[in-house]
Amino acid sequence: MKLNRRDLLKAAAAAGALNLAWPLSPGLSPAQAREAAEALGADYDPAPFTLGVASGDPQPSSVVLWTRLAPEPLAAEQQLPEIVEVGWVVAEDSELKRVVARGTAPASATLGHSVHVPVGGLRAGRHYWYAFTALGKRSRTGRTKTAPVGSVPRVRFASANCQAFHDGFYAAHRGIAREDLDFVIHLGDYIYEHGPVGGDAVRDHNGPEIFTLADYRVRHALYKGDASLREAHAAHPWFLTWDDHEVANDYSGTGGGAPFMQRRAAAYQAWYEHMPHRDSGASALPDPEIHRVRRWGDLLEVTVLDLRSYRSAQNLADGTILGAEQKSWLKQGIDRAPDAWHCWANSIMLSQLRGRPGGPYMFTDQWDGFLAERKEVLTHVHDSGLEDLVIITGDWHSAFVDDVRPDFDDASSPVVGTEFTAHSVTSGGYSADWNQTNGPVMGRANPHLQYFEGNRYGYDVYEVTPERWSTHMRVIADRRDPASPVTTLTTFHVDRGRAGSYEDPETKDSPAQYRRD
């Protein structure tokens, strides 16, 4: 019988014993919390590098290396000196014999004994291996890659999003770790601020929430207890953005009083402490800078967006999802864009989504809650002459393929790009019955919607050449199985210089709740 994290928690909730089964329940000691986590299938690397290693933000001559010392991963405070010196090494081989850089970095209690090492002087387009040492121990070895320069014949990368620990195992990350990739982009909802609930309702965000820096630290540590997540981090460099559950459901970064701003600061700090994030300033705190542009040679320009930190309230005539400064930055980037594929890493759906023909929008926490700004930005894309725009998105726990238009209610509005919304890693979607009923309804209500599939979990792999962009929807068989096999559900293509996508003939008969004929 398979160990079933999700059903174990549901059974514990039904029996009134969720406080014993959920590792982060109040009153548990770190040892008890770890025992409960291991009963749900968690495990950790040897101390003090229990949370693994990671790299991020690859550039032609530099990557950021990350680890955090956490001998007791689920303890609110680590029993360590105020500052621990951590050694690091980067080499051209997995045995770490051909060393190209080494050094030490201080891991301070102030930042949870995490380290972020920006390693420079590397060669472009190369794989490197790295490891850390501290307290007489050595970490696992990680692998990373620098961005290339000049002519690039192919780039291959993956995206992941929405990985509620209490909803299942990270078999999707196990698949990502084994893929031949240049990098990974995480599109948000890396953690969830709430715990498991007794029922099975979708988007029911009740449960024991977290508020303090200690709360968020142990939540991140619990999630990194899934071995597949640590494996995916160690296998590839990552780009990162966030959505709402890294802090609180549907939050606006500019709203709320002092208690919420304190909660947001705690969440942002814990996020930074657990991610291979490179900040542009001297310090990433209190507000890490997420948005950035990175290039993969002459083939691909990646624009990472932050759709939480600067947004206003929803449904305002002058509302903003980007904030004035980020919007100006994005439009300037559009004006200066090179002749390449352009990928926007976008945490929440940009395309319009009505629940029925002529009806209201389904969720205005998405770009649908910021209509004027969406139209302004997409009109700027059109007027600038930008071509070959692909937007990759998470959040919805289902897969969508959409044509992107400046005005989604005007059938004559030109197609300026394609949006691929990926399945979640584990986070629960709507029921199969809901998907079957509402897939065709959404298709009729949204003429730009090309495809919808909501019954599966997984990740997307993007294969990009100078001639074509291909999105392979990878799905797992069962999120209850940590070793669940991965298959390709379907593949969509976008041809260079031609707006709009089309499904691969070899996969167009795959199961879906809606596809446009």
What's the pLDDT at 197? Answer: 64
CA angle 155/156/161 to nearest 5° reads 130
CA distances from 236 to 44, 128, 254, 424 (A): 19, 10, 33, 19
The enclosing H or E element of 178 equals: helix 171-178
- Structural domain count of the chain: 3
Task: Express each pLDDT in 217-263 by its tens digit.
Answer: 999 999 999 999 999 999 999 999 999 999 999 999 888 899 999 99
What's the pLDDT at 115? Answer: 98
205 has pLDDT over 80: no
Task: Express each pLDDT in 462-483 by its tens digit.
Answer: 999 999 999 999 999 999 999 9
Q: Does residue 445 fall inside a structural domain?
A: yes
The enclosing domain of 110 has a CATH number of 2.60.40.380
What's the pLDDT at 266? Answer: 97
| Residues 301 and 448 both lie in one domain | yes
Q: Does residue 27 fall inside a structural domain?
A: yes
> Does 286 sit behind a cis peptide bond, omega within 30 degrees of 0 on the bond before it?
yes
| Residues 306 and 341 both lie in one domain | yes
Strand 341-346 relative to strand 389-393: parallel, antiparallel, unpaired?
parallel
Beta-carbon contacts of 29 under 8 Å, excluding residues fewer than 6 positions away, are: none
Q: Does residue 376 fall inside a structural domain?
A: yes
| Residues 182 and 124 both lie in one domain | no
Q: Does residue 443 fall inside a structural domain?
A: yes
Could you list the residue range(s) of the whole structural domain that residue 103 is in? Answer: 53-145
| Residues 23 and 59 both lie in one domain | no
Q: Does residue 90 fall inside a structural domain?
A: yes
| Residues 500 and 402 both lie in one domain | yes
208 has pLDDT over 90: no
- Average pLDDT of the residues in 259-275: 96
| Residues 326 and 447 both lie in one domain | yes
| Residues 17 and 106 both lie in one domain | no
2 has pLDDT over 80: no
| Residues 417 and 489 both lie in one domain | yes
447 has pLDDT over 80: yes
pLDDT band at 203 (very low <50, low <70, confident <90, very high): very low
CA distances from 422 to 23, 61, 129, 503 (A): 29, 31, 30, 15
Q: Does residue 389 fall inside a structural domain?
A: yes
Listed residues 83, 117, 145: the one ending a domain: 145
Listed residues 86, 117, 145: the one ending a domain: 145
212 has pLDDT over 70: yes
Beta-carbon contacts of 270 under 8 Å, excluding residues fewer than 6 positions away, are: 112, 213, 216, 217, 219, 220
Report the mean per-residue pLDDT for the chain. Answer: 95
What's the pLDDT at 13? Answer: 84
199 has pLDDT over 50: no
| Residues 167 and 57 both lie in one domain | no
Q: Does residue 77 fall inside a structural domain?
A: yes
Rounded to an integer, what is the distance from CA 340 to the centroid of its chain? 24
- Of 431, 429, 438, the C-alpha closest to 458 is 429
Task: Express each pLDDT in 5-25 by its tens digit.
Answer: 888 898 888 888 888 899 999
- Average pLDDT of the residues in 191-197: 89
| Residues 78 and 175 both lie in one domain | no
What's the pLDDT at 307? Answer: 98
The enclosing H or E element of 228 equals: helix 227-235
The enclosing H or E element of 379 equals: helix 371-384
| Residues 32 and 166 both lie in one domain | no
Task: Express each pLDDT in 339-352 by its tens digit.
Answer: 999 999 999 999 99
Contact status, residue 418 vs residue 391, Cβ threshold 8 Å: yes
Token pair 């352009």 is at which residue? 342
CA atoms within 13 A on the CB side of 7: 8
| Residues 347 and 432 both lie in one domain | yes
What's the pLDDT at 20? Answer: 83
Contact status, residue 253 vs residue 198, Cβ threshold 8 Å: no
Task: Express each pLDDT in 128-169 by its tens digit.
Answer: 999 999 999 999 999 999 999 999 999 999 999 999 999 999
Orientation of helix 171-178 relative to helix 227-235, angle to 10°: 20
Listed residues 145, 168, 201: the one ending a domain: 145
Q: Does residue 82 fall inside a structural domain?
A: yes
The enclosing domain of 319 has a CATH number of 3.60.21.70
Sheet holding 502-503, edge to edge: 114-119, 62-68, 53-59, 237-240, 183-186, 155-160, 458-464, 468-476, 486-495, 502-503
207 has pLDDT over 70: no
